[in-house]
Structures are given as structure tokens and as C-alpha cells.
């Protein structure tokens, strides 16, 4: 997308899956890219892949549940590139698919620490900078589990419902400050995080067959939607939760 060229973009949760793919795609579209993630080895791998396309890259190993890590990342990125035009908040934790301990407080605190409170910290410092600039675009990673319920993983679904509510509310608050805030809600996507949940090919096939399009999404397909929300092609969109789910949220098929 030509209108992304030269934009300054940060990606939280960029070590693998959707986050890694969109970081690469931002770079391929001519953006200056900052990447953040917990695994230093995987982060270095993504950085090296980006360097094949662009030298305009900054990376920092850190944890979104630690405020100082986020502050350092954003401060260093701004020092290097001068501004944040676009932020994609992808860091997240799935939890386990189990009927046991569904209402275990420790489990909820663990998942919400990353999926909700970590995202709040990212938003806090992104918005602080974008208010100074009087413009910006933010995309949060939600899930179809934040639009409909999920009997197999209520803690994950609850955390992603919180992301959707946060996205809509902040979009309303900052619309007149020329800051657009939307969320992407991926359906089942062929990432390691998803595929590791299935202990047999049969179970994975059953899951695919429950999707109207009868397959998992590719990370490239989710990235394409994120790039659209990042670009001027979505300039009149804010507070929107974009489902990219193969038809799951359309209803029963």
C-alpha cells in the first residue's frame, strides 16, 4: 500500500505468527518498524528477516506486563524515528482449553495480565505520543472469541471481550484528537499457538469443518486486513471490530 511508505510503525508481540507476519509486511511496504516481544531469539529472527527488506528497524526484548519495558521501547523508537504513526498491539496469551478451573482467579489474572492490562499499558504510552502529534492509528488484536462466547476457553474469550470494549470506548474518546482506534478479530489462524492446541490431525480437521470456509486462516490474510486498517483506505473507520474469521461470526451454517 503506497500510503504506508515512510510511516513509523510499532508492533507489540512480534516474535511469531500474526505479529511477525505483519511486522514483515509493514517493512515490505516501506515503513520504519519497531518490534517488541518476549523471546529474544525469535525477535532476532524476525529482525533479521526484516533487514533483508529494510535497515529501518528497531527491536527490544521485553514483556507487555512490565510498564518500564513498554516505556523504554516507545521512548527509544521515538528517539530513533521521531514519531509513532501506527501501532499494532498483538501481544496475547491463549490459556488452556479445559473445563477444569474455568473460574480460577489465578488463571484469569495470568491471562488478563497480558491480554488486557498489558494492552492498556501499550495504549497508555502510544496515546501519550499520538496526542502530542495530534494524529495516529492504533489496531488492537482481539479475536472472534471477543465477539461470540467460547465454551472451551472462557478466560480467553472474556479477555478478548474486554479488548473489544476498550477499543470501542477509546475510539470514541480520541476520535476528535484525530486518532483512529480499531481492532482485528481473527478466527482460527494457522499459527503455532493454535496448532499446538490440537493433539491429533482429526481434531484439527473437526475444527476446520466447523468454519463456513472449512479451513484455517493464513497469517498473510490476517496481516492484509491489519494493513488495510493501518492505511488511509480505512480513513473513516474507528471503533470497528473487524472479524476475519471465515464466516464464523455470521451465524450458524
SS (H, E, C) the chain: CHHHCCCEEEEECCCCHHHHHHHHHHHHCCCEEEEEECCHHHHHHHHHHHHCCCCCEEEEECCCCCHHHHHHHHHHHHHHHCCCCEEEECCCCCCCCCCCCCCCHHHHHHHHHHHHHHHHHHHHHHHHHHHHHCCEEEEEECCHHHCCCCCCCHHHHHHHHHHHHHHHHHHHHHHHHCEEEEEEEECCECCHHHHCCCCCHHHHHHHHHCCCCCCCECHHHHHHHHHHHHCHHHCCCCCCEEEECCCHHHCCC
Q: Which residues contact 252 (CB under 8 A, 6 or more apart)?
A: none
The two beta strands, 241-244 and 179-186, are parallel
Q: Beta-carbon neighbour count of residue 163 at 10 Å?
A: 24
Catalytic residue among 88, 156, 174, 198: 156
Q: Beta-carbon neighbour count of residue 13 at 10 Å?
A: 27
Q: Beta-carbon neighbour count of residue 47 at 10 Å?
A: 16
Is 125 designated active site?
no
**Which residues are annotated as catalytic?**
156
Amino acid at each position: 500500500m503506497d500510503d504506508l511508505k515512510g510511516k513509523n510503525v510499532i508492533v507489540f508481540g512480534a516474535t511469531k505468527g500474526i505479529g511477525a507476519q505483519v511486522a514483515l509486511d509493514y517493512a515490505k511496504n516501506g515503513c520504519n518498524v519497531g518490534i517488541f516481544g518476549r523471546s529474544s531469539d525469535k525477535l532476532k529472527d524476525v529482525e533479521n528477516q526484516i533487514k533483508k527488506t529494510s535497515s529501518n528497524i528497531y527491536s527490544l526484548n521485553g514483556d507487555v506486563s512490565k510498564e518500564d519495558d513498554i516505556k523504554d521501547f516507545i521512548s527509544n523508537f521515538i528517539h530513533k524515528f521521531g514519531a509513532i504513526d501506527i501501532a499494532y498491539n498483538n501481544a496475547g496469551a491463549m490459556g488452556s482449553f479445559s473445563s477444569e478451573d474455568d473460574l480460577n482467579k489465578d488463571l484469569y489474572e495470568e491471562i488478563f495480565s497480558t491480554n488486557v492490562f498489558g494492552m492498556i499499558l501499550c495504549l497508555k504510552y502510544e496515546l501519550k505520543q499520538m496526542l502530542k502529534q495530534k494524529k495516529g492509528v492504533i489496531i488492537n488484536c482481539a479475536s472472534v472469541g471477543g465477539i461470540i462466547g467460547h465454551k472451551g476457553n472462557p478466560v480467553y474469550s472474556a479477555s478478548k471481550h474486554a479488548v473489544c470494549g476498550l477499543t470501542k470506548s477509546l475510539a470514541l474518546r480520541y476520535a476528535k484528537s484525530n486518532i483512529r482506534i480499531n481492532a482485528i478479530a481473527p478466527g482460527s489462524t494457522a499459527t503455532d499457538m493454535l496448532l499446538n492446541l490440537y493433539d491429533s490431525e482429526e481434531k484439527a480437521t473437526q475444527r476446520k469443518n466447523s468454519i463456513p470456509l472449512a479451513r484455517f486462516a493464513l497469517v498473510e490474510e490476517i496481516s492484509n486486513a491489519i494493513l488495510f486498517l493501518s492505511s488511509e483506505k480505512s480513513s473513516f473507520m474507528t471503533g470497528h471490530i473487524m472479524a476475519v474469521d471465515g464466516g464464523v461470526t455470521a451465524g450458524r451454517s
